[in-house]
């Protein structure tokens, strides 16, 4: 018996990319850096997300 979910990984990646883009928009970076990050995430969904996760701008922390 095989359990296959053909669109599951794509849906998960889409949700993660949307989350990353929202975090980029809410960050304190300047507009040009935000635009570059958004383009990278949109053009390279998986790789762009991983790069953003490691090196991207962070949203302001609430204390």
Query: Domain boundaries in the chain?
Result: 29-57
pTM over the 0.85 mark: no
Give the separation between CA 18 and CA 14, rounded to whole angstroms: 6
Q: 3-state class of 2 per DSSP?
A: coil
Q: Are 20 and 50 in contact (CB under 8 A)?
A: no
CA dihedral defined by 21, 26, 31, 32, rounded to 10 degrees?
A: -40
Q: Give the Cα-Cα-Cα angle 25, 27, 31 (nearest 5 degrees).
A: 60
Closest CA to 26 of 47, 62, 57: 57
Q: What is the pLDDT along the chain (63 residues), one digit of tens a residue?
A: 556 677 888 889 999 999 999 999 999 989 999 999 999 999 999 999 999 999 987 756 555
């Amino acid at each position: 018996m095989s359990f296959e979910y053909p669109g599951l990984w794509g849906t998960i990646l889409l949700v993660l990319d949307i989350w990353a883009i929202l975090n980029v928009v809410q960050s304190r970076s300047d507009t040009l850096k935000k635009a570059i990050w958004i383009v990278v995430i949109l053009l390279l969904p998986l790789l762009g997300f991983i790069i953003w996760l490691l090196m991207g701008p962070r949203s302001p922390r609430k204390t």
